[in-house]
Structure 1
Amino acid sequence: MIVDSMAIFVLLGTFFLFILLRFPIAYAVALSSILCLMNQGLPLSTVAQQMVKGISSFSLMAVPFFITMGYLMGSGGISEKLIDLANACVGWMRGGMAMVNIVSSYFFGGISGSAAADSASLGSIMIPMMVEQGYDDDFSTAVTITSSCEGLLVPPSHNMVIYATTAGGISIGSLFLAGYLPAAILAGSLMVGSYIISVRRKYPKGDKFHLLNLLKQIGISFWALAAVLLVVVGVVGGVFTATESAAIAVIYSLLVSVYIYRGLTWKGVWRVLDKCVETLSIVLILISTSSIFGFLLTRLNVPTLAAQAILGLTDNRIFLALLLNLILLVLGMIMDMAPIILIATPILLPIAISIGIDPVQFGIIVILNCGIGLLTPPVGSVLFIGSAVGRVSIERVVKATLPFYICMIITLMLVTFIPSVSLFLPSLFN
């Protein structure tokens, strides 16, 4: 195996230099790739070829559809109905509004698939509501941003589609099923943390539990939750491909938002689609530029070299699993989610497989690590969104989030060392 150390240094060194200089991630990836190509004497036409190849995937067509579905449902009056449903389920507990916030994120995550959308949409409603009822503003914001990470694990998640495409040969249906139980465990751990804090700070209880009210709210929210069932059952049951189910879900979401919940007008639909195009342009540019980067990583044998270096440290599987998590957590502190999935997966997945971690399980590990990274300075986008929505300083939010980091790390360790947490549901349908 020939090792071109200078080319590897140019590719990785300039990439991290551009990141430290706060270049947009897509520009950092593209510029470092171009400099590496020039160093190797390869034609720059390779850039265009690899960019087109990177987005010429039938499976990736699901990504724009899922993002559009999330925007339509998120803007169509769904948030309030899901909050009412969560309130009927858990609002009676001590610190009930914190529990409602967490459960709402579980429901809403299955629709939006985005932690940022969850924080912005639910946070704008829940944070003022919690503060008004006597909860501290920093606690309310911390609960909102940490629970929003459930949305990354609850299908349909476009990040799961990106991982499946990058990993190659991974069943999107299996990934969808694999996310449910870890998301539920994450929600449960956050609820335990919230309850302990709520008891200590004597936060209020909500109204008493009423079964009739719960059944009523389930009936009202049925049309929103059915969108998730349509996608997951369709993909897992083999009725649709992920792309086909995503396209059908967009049409369904449009009809529900406009004609059933009437949270959107046709004029409003065009505004939503305008936001979708803006988001999609960012995502697709990241995917296409990361394709060049991935091509060069493979050409320079970086995944093999990284695997040999990491495996050479120790043969202890527990230590190696912890090291993989540490690498992903550090990357999450300085990079956004999609680039981590696109760049780190080809390097770290072979190592994970070598120590007995299933590719589907590793996908959940990657996504949960990236979710924690979204809450971590200096590039935690969800942290910044929560701070802005809650009008609380970053420092106070980070301090209030510390107990919830522990809850998230516990969940991460369970996913890492107990394979059945993520593989139980997929195994039932295989």
Structure 2
Amino acid sequence: MDVTVLVLVVVFAVLLFIGVPISVSIGIASIVTALTVMPFETAVYTMTQKMVTGISSFSLLAVPLFVLSGNIMNNGGIAKRLVNFAKVIGGRIPGSLAHANIIGNMFFGSLSGSAVASAAAIGGTMEPLMREDGYDPAFSTAVNVASAPTGMLIPPSGVLILYSLVTGGVSISALFIAGYIPGFLMGLGSMIVAFIYAKKKKYPLTEKTTMSYKVKTFLEAVPSLLLIFIVIGGIVGGAFTATEGAAIAVVYPLILSAVYKSITLQDIKIIVLRTASTTGVILFLVAASSAMSWIMAYTGIPGAISNAILSVSDNPIVIMIIINITLLIVGTFMDLTPAVLIFTPIFFPIAMELGYHPVHFGIILVFNLCIGIMTPPVGSVLFVACGITKVSIEKVVKPLMPFFLVLIATLFLITFVPWFSLVLPTLFKLI
């Protein structure tokens, strides 16, 4: 087993270091590792078979559908209406535009299920407004970076669907409902930091608006917000599955965009091609990770790592701190999807042995990795947000640090207080 661990880690690390795409690196490392324990023909045939069966899942169909839904909303004029409503909610408090950015990301992220799409759509809308009001561009970027990942927790979330598949059937409905409070806490923590920073910098308040404008803005946002109630309500209520809900999440914003006259046939062609490209990357990644998960289980790697971690201490608090720190480090070097696919099989058995509920651990895992996608050197949300505002990563890191520290504190709160993750699924009798 020691040889297989060494082969897997070294081959994977070397391939990543020389710039090989992560999905290809995972696939090659898995095959090379298999060759250390079985003949060539058997290794190639088995790994190929595991890759095919890894994506042969009806539930997995929800992922490309949610990607398509997010792309439609990103191009269909929905983000602007949500931002206007978020500005009304932000009100006349210090950092009101920053709060609007955060609330907008929470809304749009929950609709699109994509942190990158949310950072692009909401950040692109808010950036000129915040710059015009005198906000430091580096701070504006940091606000967008810190709040965009909330959509990975607030359902519908493709990452939680992947976690359910990897763990062998943890309830998707329970995971979706469990993400609401942690996602809200992530947004609230960012708002607290934004409030303190804006108070210190004395940023201007937004102009007063009339009640009629607030009502008009709310009514304009209602059709978009209804998608949340339709999809999540239908899934939790048992009216349809997560995959069927994802199909509805495609049709509804498409109709909405047509009503708004904000999308054309040419736009649809571009959206479908972009979705196909993104889906191809995701599914190949899932396939390669399925092969890696199988060879790790075959050679006993997860069990060995589990025993090594459990031998450090018999204190569950210490062990969960080790797991959290490990995932935070992993998140800085690996994107969210491959990290979930690779590290769930390793840490999930440990969490179960410690007595953690599968739904609770799923929220902990995703929250951890959400922090990772906002940190260099591989923070996808960080790169997108910086590209929108044309601010260098070096300048964004300093104002981003307070957000990072608050999110770390929130992570440990969620880790050691299961109530935040389990109260809603229990209330809805999903667990």
Unaligned runs of 5+ in 1: none
Matched, 1:104 2:104: yes
Counterpart residue number, 1:311: 310
Counterpart residue number, 2:48: 48
Instruction: Give the whole-Å Cα distance in 1 for the aligned partners of 2:360 and 2:179.
Output: 9
Question: Post-superposition shift, 1:223?
Answer: 1.4
Counterpart residue number, 1:234: 234
Counterpart residue number, 1:130: 130
Instruction: Give the whole-Å Cα distance in 2 for the aligned partners of 1:248 and 1:87.
Output: 28
1:194 counterpart SS class: helix
Counterpart residue number, 1:393: 392
Contact kept, 8 Å, 1:30 with 1:289, in 2: the verdict is yes
After superposition, give the CA deviation of every residue in 1:13-62 in whole Å (9 maximum; x if it has no partner): 21122223332110110110111122223421122211110000111111
Instruction: Give the whole-Å Cα distance in 2 for the aligned partners of 1:426 and 1:121.
Output: 30
The letter for the 2-side match of 1:229 is F
Counterpart residue number, 2:381: 382
Matched, 1:250 2:250: yes
Question: Post-superposition shift, 1:209?
Answer: 6.0
The letter for the 2-side match of 1:342 is L
After superposition, give the CA deviation of every residue in 1:271-323 in whole Å (9 maximum; x if it has no partner): 11111011111100100010110010110111111111001000111111111
Query: Which residues in structure 2 correspond to 1:184-199 (within 5 Å)?
Result: 184-199=184-199
Question: Post-superposition shift, 1:208?
Answer: 3.2
Contact kept, 8 Å, 1:88 with 1:210, in 2: the verdict is no
After superposition, give the CA deviation of every residue in 1:396-422 in whole Å (9 maximum; x if it has no partner): 111120011012112111110110111
Instruction: Give the whole-Å Cα distance in 2 for the aligned partners of 1:209 and 1:160.
Output: 39
Counterpart residue number, 2:428: 429
Unaligned runs of 5+ in 2: none
Contact kept, 8 Å, 1:89 with 1:214, in 2: the verdict is no
Instruction: Give the whole-Å Cα distance in 1 for the aligned partners of 2:47 and 2:317.
Output: 39
Query: Which residues in structure 2 correspond to 1:30-69 (within 5 Å)?
Result: 30-42=27-39, 43=42, 44-69=44-69
Instruction: Give the whole-Å Cα distance in 2 for the aligned partners of 1:244 and 1:150.
Output: 23
Query: Which residues in structure 2 correspond to 1:14-413 (within 5 Å)?
Result: 14-42=11-39, 43=42, 44-208=44-208, 210-258=210-258, 260-413=259-412
Indicate how the Cα distance of structure 1 residues 164 and 388 shifts in structure 2: closer, same or farther if over 3 A, else same. same
After superposition, give the CA deviation of every residue in 1:110-167 in whole Å (9 maximum; x if it has no partner): 1111111111111112122101111000000000111101111111111111111111
The letter for the 1-side match of 2:244 is E
Question: Post-superposition shift, 1:267?
Answer: 2.2
Instruction: Give the whole-Å Cα distance in 2 for the aligned partners of 1:138 and 1:242.
Output: 38
Instruction: Give the whole-Å Cα distance in 2 for the aligned partners of 1:17 and 1:314.
Output: 32
Question: Post-superposition shift, 1:107?
Answer: 0.5
The letter for the 1-side match of 2:71 is Y
Matched, 1:13 2:10: yes
Please, what TM-score do these two structures have when normalized by structure 2? 0.96
Contact kept, 8 Å, 1:73 with 1:224, in 2: the verdict is no
Instruction: Give the whole-Å Cα distance in 1 for the aligned partners of 2:318 and 2:207.
Output: 47
The letter for the 2-side match of 1:321 is M
After superposition, give the CA deviation of every residue in 1:228-260 in whole Å (9 maximum; x if it has no partner): 2111011100110111111122111211111x2
The letter for the 1-side match of 2:55 is I
The letter for the 1-side match of 2:30 is S
The letter for the 1-side match of 2:307 is Q
Instruction: Give the whole-Å Cα distance in 1 for the aligned partners of 2:265 and 2:127.
Output: 30
Question: Post-superposition shift, 1:211?
Answer: 4.4
Instruction: Give the whole-Å Cα distance in 1 for the aligned partners of 2:375 and 2:284.
Output: 24
1:40 counterpart SS class: coil
Instruction: Give the whole-Å Cα distance in 2 for the aligned partners of 1:325 and 1:214.
Output: 42
After superposition, give the CA deviation of every residue in 1:319-346 in whole Å (9 maximum; x if it has no partner): 1111111111111111111111111001
Indicate how the Cα distance of structure 1 residues 167 and 211 shifts in structure 2: closer, same or farther if over 3 A, else same. farther
Question: Post-superposition shift, 1:213?
Answer: 3.1
Contact kept, 8 Å, 1:88 with 1:213, in 2: the verdict is no
1:89 counterpart SS class: helix
2:391 counterpart SS class: coil
The letter for the 1-side match of 2:33 is C
Instruction: Give the whole-Å Cα distance in 2 for the aligned partners of 1:138 and 1:307.
Output: 41
The letter for the 2-side match of 1:207 is E
Instruction: Give the whole-Å Cα distance in 2 for the aligned partners of 1:177 and 1:67.
Output: 20
